[in-house]
Amino acid sequence: AQKVTQAQTEISVVEKEDVTLDCVYETRDTTYYLFWYKQPPSGELVFLIRRNSFDEQNEISGRYSWNFQKSTSSFNFTITASQVVDSAVYFCALSEAGLTGGGNKLTFGTGTQLKVEL
């Protein structure tokens, strides 16, 4: 069975600080995908990134960066120079590779509430 653990329930930082959100996953599949989603107070989940299990290169997108390490089954997310608008709940999720028409079953972690204060 697949499992995603986000051990940090809530993190509070002051604006401009860097913050890392941890994600540890479990799966028996050799091919799988990892995601991060952001959920602002409005409730709508916003897609941030998708990585497949064969691509371990770290990725940077503006102030966001992701560190994927298969050896430790982790897919951590770092926000550099955090801003108040980054305040939200962040979810890490895991999916098996699906055939056409499938592959939409995401297993989510419990989320990390990030609060960025002035």
Partner 1 sequence: DAGVTQSPTHLIKTRGQHVTLRCSPISGHKSVSWYQQVLGQGPQFIFQYYEKEERGRGNFPDRFSARQFPNYSSELNVNALLLGDSALYLCASSLGGEGANVLTFGAGSRLTVL
Member of 52, 58, 72, 83 binding partner 1 (CB under 8 A): 52
The span from the CA of 6 to the CA of 48, in Å, is 16
Shortest spacing between CB 106 and partner 1, in angstroms? 6
Binders of partner 1 among residues 56 to 115 (CB under 8 A) are 91, 93, 95-111
Size of site (CB under 8 A) for partner 1: 32
Amino acid sitting at position 53 = S
Q: What is the CA radius of gyration of the chain?
A: 14
Binding mask 26-45 for partner 1 (x = CB under 8 A): ------xx-x-x----xxxx
Question: Which tokens in the block code for residue 111?
Answer: 């989320």
Percentages (nearest 5) of helix, strand, coil residues in the chain: 5, 55, 40
Contacts to partner 1 by CB under 8 A: 4, 32-33, 35, 37, 42-47, 50, 52, 91, 93, 95-111
